[in-house]
Structure 1
Amino acid sequence: MITLEQVETMIKAKLPDAQVKVQDLTGGGDHLEAVVVSSEFEGKNRVKQHQMVYGALQEAMASEAIHALALKTYTPSAWEEAKTA
């Protein structure tokens, strides 16, 4: 089983400036939610942002260490707006 810290580390390896928060949605460790804030998302649509995160987790997804992943991705400015909304 993969740990939440390992998922965070994998994302940060591909997106070094990212702020990452990973939660286990079911308690089983394989259905996760990740909130990722990165300046590397600037100018990219939501699909491209998610592809970037999935790319970072490709190995864990392929081995089914992560069965399901809910993603919320934000640029830093969009994150600030979301926090105040």
Structure 2
Amino acid sequence: MSFKISLARPALAFDSGAILALYSGNTKFLLGVQIYLLSRDHSNLKSDFQHGNGKPAVELVLGKHVFLSVGEYYLRTKTG
């Protein structure tokens, strides 16, 4: 028996369609929000979203528009 182990860093994932719908299809805004969130410290981002600290002045919802991992995004889109 053999198996493969892959180590990967957590990475944010975005539901671009949901963010575009929230902001009237403004792709420039979408890109800006993605760049801003990707520049943030990933390990503190969940806490920041929960407490509103450093969160951009937009109405993004963790687990709906932004996901802390690709796995969370995959699970959400496959089940909901």
Q: Name the structure with the higher strand share.
A: 1
Q: Name the structure with the higher helix share.
A: 2
Larger RCO (CA within 8 A; separation ≥ 6): 2
Q: Scaled by the length of structure 2, what TM-score is found?
A: 0.34
Q: Scaled by the length of structure 1, what TM-score is found?
A: 0.33
